[in-house]
Amino acid sequence: MSIKRLSIYLAVFFFATISATSAFAERTPWGYGPSDGPKKWGSLTEKFSLCKDGKIQSPININTERVKELKLKELDFDYKSSSAVRMINTGHTVKIVHDEPSLLKYADGSGESDLFQFHFHSPSEHTVDGRRYDMEMHLIHKNKAGNISIVGVFIREGEYNPEFDLMWDFLPKEIGDEDIFRSYNPVNLLPENKEYYKYTGSITTPPCIENVAWFILKEPIELSAEQIETFRAVHDHNVRPLQPLNNRTVRSTGIFIDDEDIDGSGNAQVDDPFEDTFDENFENTFEDDLIEDDSFEDTLEDTQDYE
């Protein structure tokens, strides 16, 4: 390598490092503790105001007696293997960045949205009839218009799951640590049954952007107790408390109930043990479900680091 080319590489690396450091320094710190946790997020900065004032926030409890069947379309997970997968300990979770074009869409081909990362929460953020699972995986997608859709997958303690071996072997233990592992296809992490609950909500971390299409798969996947503890040794209790439903409708595949059986208030909530103790312990296409918001583009960049 010539001295000139080496100088160019070093200059690019230097400025990239400076830019990344400056961007990080400008971000508002947040967490899950008493001083920076969910109850404080909306007051940390104006950019996080939706965390306090938003009306369609996530996560929620899914009351199966009040969900509504609307003949939802089957989901098609057209995921591809990535040749080099980056896994990052963000300080809030472990995030896997997926850079190979991988599409979430309906089986009829409509509503394409591209997977760009997935991560984990322990225990689960969403609940079903008040039940909180051991973990929850969030697969984050974005369409060409910049709208976000998230697939939530519950994880419960059960059989050993070899599909997680590669990730867990490289699990970055310290905040800021990053590792790269070989080709991997996240479709292998999904349950066989793809039936789902669907509702409109928000991302579950600051800046709590709304108008997110949520698809919560009904069938959980399993990890062994040891595998769950492997993740919890790195991150545990990275959960936002349940948010009010506020007259939103949760739709479901495979469940049929009459309209008159749906509580008009829509506020089917349960007592959440995380609400009071957490801080102390530290149909349509995708586009049809989303409300146009001029401010969305201004905050979209923040979702690249959604955790």
pLDDT for res 101 = 87
Could you read off the pLDDT of 70-110 as tens digits, one per residue? Answer: 778 899 999 998 878 899 999 999 999 988 889 999 887 78
Predicted confidence (pLDDT) per residue in 146-173, tens digit: 999 999 999 999 999 999 998 999 899 9
Q: How far apart are CA 71 and CA 92, in angstroms?
A: 37
CA distance 253 to 193: 11
Catalytic annotation present for 126 = no
Which residue ranges form the domains of the chain, and what is each CATH number?
A: 53-303 (3.10.200.10)
Active site residue 204: yes
- Give the active site residue among 93, 127, 200, 204: 204
For 218-250, the pLDDT digits (tens) are: 999 999 999 999 999 999 999 999 999 999 999
Catalytic residue among 90, 93, 98, 119: 119
Given 90, 93, 121, 253, the catalytic residue: 121
**Catalytic (active site) residue 141:** no
For residues 204 and 60, what is the distance between their CA atoms, to the nearest angstrom? 10
CA-based R_g, the chain, Å: 20
Q: What is the pTM of this model?
A: 0.79
What are the DSSP E strand ranges found in 82-144?
85-89, 94-97, 103-106, 113-121, 127-128, 131-132, 135-142
Residue 76 to residues 110, 116, 212: CA-CA distances in angstroms? 10, 16, 19
User: Taking the chain, what is the end-to-end CA distance rounded to the nearest angstrom?
Assistant: 39
* Distance between CA atoms of residues 126 and 241, nearest Å: 9
To the nearest whole percent, how much of the chain has pLDDT over 90?
64
Q: Of 125, 136, 210, 307, which residue is the catalytic one?
A: 125
CB 219 within 8 A of CB 190: no
**Residue 303 is a catalytic residue:** no
pLDDT attached to residue 274:
42
